[in-house]
Amino acid sequence: MEFLASFFDQYGLLLAQGTGDTIVMSVAATIFAYVIGIPLGVALVVTAPGGLRPHRVLNAVLGWITNIGRSVPFIILLVVLIPVTRWIVGTSLGVPGAVVPLTVAAAPFVGRMVEQSLAEVDGGLVEAAQSFGAGVWQIVAKVFLRESLPSLIRGASIAFITLFGYSAMAGMVGAGGLGDIAIRYGYQRYQGDVMVAALILCIVLVQVVQSLGNLLARKVDKRR
C-alpha cells in the first residue's frame, strides 16, 4: 500500500497528464480523419464500377492515393510531414504537432473502412430509393450513410484504437501521451513500474472505447 501511495505521489500527475494527452490526440485525430475519410469513402463507393456515378479514372486515382497513404509507415510519415504540419498548425511539436500526421495516417484507413461499411448496404435498397426518384446525394445521405450507421460506429471504434496505438510514436515529436511515458520511463530508464502503470491505463482505455463503441452500435442497430 505504501508503495502505491508513494508511486502515485511521484508519478500520478505524470500519468494523468499522459492519459489526457493520449485522449486529446486520439480523439482529435479520429474526428479530423473522419472529416476526410467519410467523403473519401463515399467517393470510392459512388465512383466504383456499377456505382451511382461510375467514373473509372477518378475511382482509380482515389484508390491509388488511399493506398499510398496507407503504405507509408507512421513513424516515417511523422518526419516527412514536419513541414506540412508546421504550415498547418504553426509547430511540428507537442500535441498539435502530432495531430496532423495522425490525421494524415488515419484518413485513408478511415476512407477504406467507410467504403467497406457502405458497400455492405443492400443494393436492393439503393434501387428502391432510385425507384422513388431519389438523387445521388439523397441516396448517399438517406440510404448509404443511414443504413450503415451501426457498421460505421463499429469502424470508428477500430479507427480510434488504431490511432491510439499510433499516438505512442508521437512522443518522437514531444507530444507525450501514455505510449511515450512507457517508452521513456520503461525502456530508456528501466523504470518497469511506470511502464506497467502506463500499459494498464492503455488497456483500460482501449477496453472502454471498444465496449462503448459496441454498445452504441447495438443501440442504433434496428435490424433485430
Applying CB under 8 A, which residues contact other proteins?
Answer: 122, 124-125, 127-135, 138, 142-143, 146-147, 149-150, 220-224
Instruction: Considering the complex, state which of residue 147 and residue 180 has its C-beta at the smaller distance from other proteins.
Output: 147
Output the smallest distance, CB 139 to other proteins, in A: 10
Instruction: Considering the complex, state which of residue 135 and residue 192 has its C-beta at the smaller distance from other proteins.
Output: 135
Output the smallest distance, CB 152 to other proteins, in A: 11
Pair 110, 41: CB distance under 8 Å? yes
CB atoms within 10 A of CB 85: 23
Output the smallest distance, CB 149 to other proteins, in A: 6
Instruction: Considering the complex, state which of residue 21 and residue 147 has its C-beta at the smaller distance from other proteins.
Output: 147
Output the smallest distance, CB 176 to other proteins, in A: 40
Output the smallest distance, CB 52 to other proteins, in A: 12
Instruction: Considering the complex, state which of residue 29 and residue 152 has its C-beta at the smaller distance from other proteins.
Output: 152
Written as nine digits, the cell of 142 is 438517406
Instruction: Considering the complex, state which of residue 197 and residue 217 has its C-beta at the smaller distance from other proteins.
Output: 217
User: Cα–Cα distance between 175 and 105 in angstroms, integer?
Assistant: 16
Instruction: Considering the complex, state which of residue 33 and residue 152 has its C-beta at the smaller distance from other proteins.
Output: 152
Output the smallest distance, CB 150 to other proteins, in A: 8
